[in-house]
């Protein structure tokens, strides 16, 4: 294993307030209005269902392409997929309306939440048949109402108010960006409800604190050069974030604000998964490698070479298997992806040592890439079993992965935002730290 001296330049100056405008903006893109509604994919694709039940406490207003809204005073409606489209009926089987393939059924009630499965939603529920012949369920609602259902899933609701506001703005920017252009356009919505985009759970976990953070920042988004910024975020970092060019191979010129920044306030040692370690037998590493890469290898891993940047992230690695095949990884996200569940982020080092067979903890002091570690649980290799027999454990060769932070490392660190607010920084300062050179603007 070699650790070469290739250091990426870390250009951002942390904690310099660069937000310069709080004005309504003349956007060069077609920007959604503050009151515009976002389409959130609740279930879609091959794993979606062919029957969906929607409940309401005070009836429904239902429309399709062929019919205007009409009120139905029932507590439940059921959509069923068929080869020709969707049929919507009451629970007792009374037919309400049908929609052909390619057409939507819109279910609404301005005075009540609509419940799908066990989750209640603000706004409308839209049903249509997808390419798998199942029912795609979309929740269409104003962006701020959507954010009320995002924040409780993306932060701890007990976190400081300034952290919640920063996250509301970052999540709103992410949502508005998705409304302008989205990889889900072909799915028939703007954003999905899972961690793929932003976790969203309807009204289930709404709290007054998170709702207030959304309302008090209403319409506020992050912009760069009069365009909506790209605002990824992740759980935690070990002081440094990763740049978008090294992390995802994206253009540093297009996203100068997604550079590696330093936040000394993030106390990663106190965070779950903020500082982590995994010990794995060398012969077992291959079993942890993500399936995408495992399929490309044809034997155990025999050599791991990597280059670590000054910010800690590994953005270049070369992995060789016993057949001599080598995989080269050129971004930190591909490195993180390669090592699967062995790593929480690409900010890690690998040390080699020996442990007694079957033990998960090294029995010796390890000089790791992050410094010297006094490993606990130090034991001899001999032991006396329950019948008084002296036994000897063999030793095996292991890799120790020790790292900092959790997630892709690009953009805003959620825990970093928490610790900055604890230290007295405002949401504006949190955002200008993680997205240096950007501005805050307001949707009309």
The residues binding Zn ion (CB under 5 A) are 192, 196-197
Cα–Cα distance, 233 to 406 (Å, whole number): 11
Cα–Cα distance, 156 to 69 (Å, whole number): 39
Q: How far is the CB of 199 from Zn ion (least distance, A)?
A: 10
Q: How far is the CB of 193 from Zn ion (least distance, A)?
A: 8
Is 197 or 421 the residue whose CB approaches Zn ion more closely? 197
CA geometry: angle 71, 73, 75, nearest 5 deg: 125
Written as six digits, the tokens of 433 are 């730290």
Is 233 or 401 the residue whose CB approaches Zn ion more closely? 233
Q: How far is the CB of 183 from Zn ion (least distance, A)?
A: 7
Q: How far is the CB of 227 from Zn ion (least distance, A)?
A: 21
Is 182 or 278 the residue whose CB approaches Zn ion more closely? 182
Cα–Cα distance, 18 to 432 (Å, whole number): 6
Is 179 or 192 the residue whose CB approaches Zn ion more closely? 192
Task: Find all residues with CB under 8 Å of 430, minimum gap 6, and list them.
Answer: 162, 163, 166, 412, 417, 420, 421
Burial of residue 236 (CB within 10 Å: 0-12, 13-18, 19+) is: buried
Q: How far is the CB of 150 from Zn ion (least distance, A)?
A: 12
**Number of residues written out for the chain:** 444
Written as six digits, the tokens of 324 are 């001599």
Q: How far is the CB of 238 from Zn ion (least distance, A)?
A: 27
Cβ–Cβ < 8 Å for 230, 237? no
Task: Find all residues with CB under 8 Å of 250, minimum gap 6, and list them.
Answer: 244, 258
Is 52 or 197 the residue whose CB approaches Zn ion more closely? 197
Is 190 or 428 the residue whose CB approaches Zn ion more closely? 190
Cα–Cα distance, 10 to 389 (Å, whole number): 58
Is 66 or 194 the residue whose CB approaches Zn ion more closely? 194
Is 174 or 276 the residue whose CB approaches Zn ion more closely? 174
Is 180 or 423 the residue whose CB approaches Zn ion more closely? 180
Cα–Cα distance, 144 to 132 (Å, whole number): 31
Is 196 or 270 the residue whose CB approaches Zn ion more closely? 196
Q: How far is the CB of 196 from Zn ion (least distance, A)?
A: 4
Q: How far is the CB of 234 from Zn ion (least distance, A)?
A: 16
Give the other-Cβ count within 10 Å of 50's Cβ.
14
CA geometry: angle 127, 135, 81, nearest 5 deg: 105
Burial of residue 84 (CB within 10 Å: 0-12, 13-18, 19+) is: exposed
Cα distances (Å, whole numbers) of residue 151 to 223, 269, 332, 411, 414: 20, 24, 27, 17, 11
Task: Find all residues with CB under 8 Å of 188, minimum gap 6, and list them.
Answer: 39, 41, 44, 128, 130, 136, 138
CA geometry: angle 262, 265, 267, nearest 5 deg: 110
In 3D, which of 186, 49, 198 has the Cα closest to residue 127? Answer: 49
Q: How far is the CB of 307 from Zn ion (least distance, A)?
A: 32
Q: How far is the CB of 377 from Zn ion (least distance, A)?
A: 42
């Amino acid at each position: 294993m070699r650790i070469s001296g290739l250091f990426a330049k870390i250009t951002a100056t942390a904690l310099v307030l660069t937000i310069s405008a709080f004005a309504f903006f003349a956007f060069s893109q077609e920007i959604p209005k503050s009151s515009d509604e976002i389409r959130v994919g609740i279930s879609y694709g091959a794993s979606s269902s062919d029957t969906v039940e929607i409940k309401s406490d005070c009836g429904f207003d239902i429309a399709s392409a062929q019919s205007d809204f009409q009120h139905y005073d029932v507590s439940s409606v059921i959509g069923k997929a068929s080869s020709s489209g969707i049929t919507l009926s009451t629970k007792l089987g009374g037919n309400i309306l049908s929609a052909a393939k390619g057409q939507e059924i819109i279910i609404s009630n301005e005075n009540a939440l609509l419940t799908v499965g066990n989750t209640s939603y603000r706004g409308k529920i839209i049903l249509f048949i997808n390419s798998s012949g199942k029912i795609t369920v979309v929740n269409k609602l104003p962006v701020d109402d959507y954010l009320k259902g995002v924040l409780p899933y993306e932060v701890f609701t007990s976190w400081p108010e300034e952290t919640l506001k920063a996250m509301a703005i970052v999540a709103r920017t992410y949502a508005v960006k998705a409304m302008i252009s989205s990889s889900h356009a072909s799915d028939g919505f703007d954003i999905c409800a899972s961690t793929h985009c932003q976790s969203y759970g309807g009204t289930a976990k709404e709290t007054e604190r998170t709702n207030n953070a959304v309302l008090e920042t209403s319409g506020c988004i992050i912009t760069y050069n009069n365009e909506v910024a790209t605002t990824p975020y992740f759980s935690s970092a070990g002081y440094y974030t990763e740049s978008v060019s090294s992390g995802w191979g994206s253009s540093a010129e297009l996203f100068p604000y997604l550079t590696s920044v330093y936040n000394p306030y993030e106390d990663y040692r106190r965070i779950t998964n903020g500082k982590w370690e995994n010990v794995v037998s060398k012969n077992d590493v291959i079993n942890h490698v993500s399936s995408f890469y495992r399929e490309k290898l044809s034997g155990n891993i025999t050599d791991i070479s990597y280059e670590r940047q000054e910010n800690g992230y590994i953005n270049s690695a070369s992995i060789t298997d016993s057949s001599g095949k080598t995989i080269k990884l050129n971004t930190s996200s591909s490195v993180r992806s390669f090592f699967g569940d062995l790593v929480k982020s690409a900010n890690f080092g690998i040390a080699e040592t020996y442990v007694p067979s079957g033990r998960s903890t090294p029995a010796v002091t390890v000089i790791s890439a992050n410094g010297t570690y006094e490993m606990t649980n130090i034991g001899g290799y001999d032991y006396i079993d329950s019948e008084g027999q002296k036994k000897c454990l063999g030793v095996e060769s292991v890799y120790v992965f020790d790292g900092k932070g959790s997630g892709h490392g690009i953009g805003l660190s959620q825990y970093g935002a928490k610790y900055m607010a604890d230290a007295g920084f405002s949401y504006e300062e949190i955002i200008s730290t993680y997205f240096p050179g950007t501005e805050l603007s307001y949707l009309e």
